[in-house]
Chain A
């Protein structure tokens, strides 16, 4: 049996094609592993940042808790007083949602300061004004 030159060349080039394919495949596998490491690092970073976000949220909630705010105000000597004209507003509550009237946030905050925190310091502040 004799093989022509062309056939020998074709058969001889097959291993190199295989080699190329194998190298291509291996490089892909290595890339997968490398990207896998990157994904893992990013995931860890994301988890860390999320955790940090939760931690900061917790800290913020602690700092803005009414108890803490009142303590800070007392320690720093922040005095709030009632406005001269204390306004009693008519109620707008409905049966479906009677608890919160539909006033804007600014008015709510003003009243909150006047009524809730202001009552703590109003006498001192008034005395100070005189």
Chain B
């Protein structure tokens, strides 16, 4: 039997145990239900808010080849307070990373707890540094943009800066799509600073950047760059551009410029090399512009292909101004004016048209306005308002003087004739997809009719003759009908007038002439040794056209 004292002791122990378990239970419930709000007793260093960096989207060509990709690299930082022998560490780092030793020492002498040593180092540099086991030197993973094709399509792709923001090309233009959106997660760490995934609570999900599929084809781009390089080696121009367009859709299949750069090491090139000259540089087109004057005259019905024009034996006086032809001609038909590229002939054709109509058609062909290609820095070109045109304007503008255009505008202009009379809007991005391949945005061709199909067909015949019998014979490609126009323009001098020894050679054309698949615009600025478009630009057109057709068919 229990005595009174025994009962009391039993009850005392029982209530003591109950009290202890109640405390434990209370704590357990507290820990269970309030895991992320420990006001007391939970040191704040165990709770971390982690920023989750998005993966920048990739860039592909039209066939799915990778053109730009982000990879993880390491950046090196130091905690100067932890470095004991600052001079020795600086010497070692200087040797491994090729950095000035004095700069490192001055960084180490600062009172800061974090200083960058070098951002985005190579694997080789990382391994070398790791083997040295330096105290106070740490690695921080960062993303870096890589371009596996090297220089290929550098001006279209552009590049990213050290902070992974697009600075040029589509990297800049589509930065909002490519960069994605950073996420945040709230996690807890254990005593060893390791995150406990089970206690993690994702607050803001990360959205990785979208992928871009370009209209470019790396094989066509490579053909263009390879052939452009040959021309550059031969004629040593100050700059050059080549564009290959699909005339029916406006898709840019290749776009190359000289000088060019490698986006992987863009910082080692002069910023002038970054310029996408095909859309930023304005030049006087010369005879290639005659296609605009001719189209306008045909469309307005002021001339027919058989109309004949007296070309004044190469010297034409008009209201006190003298216009010359390179070769003196007598009477030429409308077609022959284009085929032989007579300046006097085209001026007389334009006079029949009148300056207001000519001006109207120049604007219709997209000159003096941006083509709205999806690349940064596009120039609109230069054209005086028709009210400011003087007597000489009707002599020089029809033959491509006194007007500033870009290579892209000329490519679009020749596309009008190739596709049957419609002005296309060029574009370099075909579609944008998310990381799962779902299409976010698809870019469709945009075009508007500016001349009739009949006029375009007539001009196509004329331009075919230019290549068969005229100035563009060097652009002939065996097995294909080619249509095109040469251009040789003297460069204007800033002090007035024109240089006698500086030219812009160009050729614009398309093939096959009867069912065009591609348009090619070639612009060579200040070639040395020769300057005619027929000598410098047409052979480049021919080599590119031949190889591209063999590749496409």
Contacts and interface: CB of A to CB of B under 8 A. Distances in A.
B197 A115 contact: no
B198 A33 contact: yes
B553 A112 contact: no
Interface string A83-122: 0000011010101001111010000000110111001000
B21 A15 contact: yes
Given A54-B71, A95-B248, A61 B148 contact: yes
A116 B152 contact: no
B246 interface: yes
B29 to A, nearest CB: 9
A3 B14 CA distance: 13
Nearest to B63: A100
B229 to A, nearest CB: 11
A57 B199 contact: no
Given A3-B7, A18-B21, A40-B194, A101 B552 contact: yes
Given A67-B149, A112-B219, A116-B550, A93 B197 contact: no
Interface in A37-86: 37, 39-40, 43, 51, 54-55, 57-59, 61-62, 64-67
Interface string B187-202: 0001000111111100
A91 B152 contact: no
Contacts of A95: 248
A45 to B, nearest CB: 13
B551 A91 contact: no
B72 interface: yes
A14 interface: yes
A57 B218 contact: no
A29 B30 CA distance: 13
Contacts, number: 132
Contact of B194 (A15, A19, A37, A91): A37
A65 B148 contact: yes
Interface residues of B, number: 53
Contacts of A11: 14
B190 A116 contact: no
B389 interface: no
Contact of B198 (A39, A66, A119): A39
A3 to B, nearest CB: 7
A8 interface: yes
Nearest to A28: B32
A66 B148 CA distance: 11
Contacts of A119: 547, 550
A14 B198 contact: no
A98 B219 contact: no
Nearest to A51: B72
A95 B426 CA distance: 16
Contacts of A57: 66, 69
Contacts of A88: 479
A22 B20 CA distance: 12
A114 B551 CA distance: 9
A58 B198 contact: no
B134 interface: no
Interface of A: 2-3, 8, 11-12, 14-15, 18-19, 21-22, 25-26, 29, 32-33, 35-37, 39-40, 43, 51, 54-55, 57-59, 61-62, 64-67, 88-89, 91, 93, 95, 98-101, 103, 111-112, 114-116, 119
